[in-house]
Amino acid sequence: MNELLLSVIAQDPAAPPGCAQAASPLFMMVVVFGIFYMLVIRPQQKQLKEHRLKLSRLKKGDEVVTAGGLIGTISALTDTILTLEVADKVRVRVLRSQIANLLSEAPAEGGASTAEKGK
């Protein structure tokens, strides 16, 4: 008796029997995924794309920070490995993918830097 009473109370009187009540949770899952995509996945993919672009533009003389915290100047580079000079005559080989940030770009070749022009 209680089961019958609960099933009658749980039904929406405005909805015809067998209506799209099962589609409502599916619709909510799609909406939640859409919000999650817009707030988390899309910005992360954009940031990753920008980082890859930065890594592809690295050149000799750029000052960079590695994921491990080393700060150095690029003295040589290949497709996958960079050689950083971290102190005078101290060079370290690092994977290009481990570069976390670009601190400063090398001055353009053939011209003096802006600091040298002012002197």
Q: What is the mean pLDDT of residues 98-115?
A: 72
| Structure-derived torsion over alpha carbons of residues 8, 9, 15, 20, reported in degrees to the nearest 10 | -90
Residue 75: other Cβ atoms inside 10 A: 14
Tens-digit pLDDT profile for residues 10-63: 555 555 555 556 568 899 999 999 999 999 999 999 999 999 999 999 999 999
Q: Is the pTM of this model over 0.75?
A: no
Q: How far apart are the C-alpha atoms of 97 and 48, rounded to whole Å?
A: 11
Query: In percent, how much of the chain has pLDDT > 90?
Result: 61
pLDDT, the chain, mean? 81
Q: With cut-offs at 50, 70 and 90, classify the pLDDT of residue 117.
A: very low
Which run of H or E residues covers position 114? Answer: helix 114-117
